[in-house]
């Protein structure tokens, strides 16, 4: 198979293993919302850096977005907080 198939699979597996191990080790006394906010801040900086290195056309790219992008953001917050609280409960 090609790199186009295996590279994304490798990224997904590596990121998921890293994600779950890090969420499980988030200190219990750390504020969950601040912890997620810091993580999202780093994610936003990383994502925008990758975007700008990819030759952005901001006004054109932004106009191609639809409400799904905003709803996806809310869904991600729910997933993140759900896992964090689940792991804090001892799961």
Q: Where are the beta strands (DSSP E) in the chain?
A: none
* Residues 72-88 pLDDT 10s: 999 999 999 999 999 99
State how far the Cα of 23 lies from the Cα of 88, in Å rounded to an integer: 9
* Residues 1-26 pLDDT 10s: 688 889 999 999 999 999 999 999 99
55 CB neighbour count, 10 Å cutoff: 6
pLDDT at residue 3 in the model? 84
Tokens of 81: 């907080």
* Residues 31-76 pLDDT 10s: 999 999 999 999 999 999 999 998 888 888 989 999 999 999 999 9
């Amino acid at each position: 198979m090609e790199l186009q198939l295996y590279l994304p699979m490798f990224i997904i597996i590596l990121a998921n293993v890293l994600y779950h191990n890090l969420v499980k080790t988030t200190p219990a006394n750390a504020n969950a919302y601040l912890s997620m906010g810091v993580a999202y801040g780093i994610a936003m900086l990383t994502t925008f850096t990758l975007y700008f290195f990819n030759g952005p056309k901001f006004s054109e790219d932004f106009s191609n977005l639809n409400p799904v992008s905003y709803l996806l953001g809310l869904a991600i917050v729910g997933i993140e907080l759900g896992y964090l609280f689940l792991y804090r409960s001892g799961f």
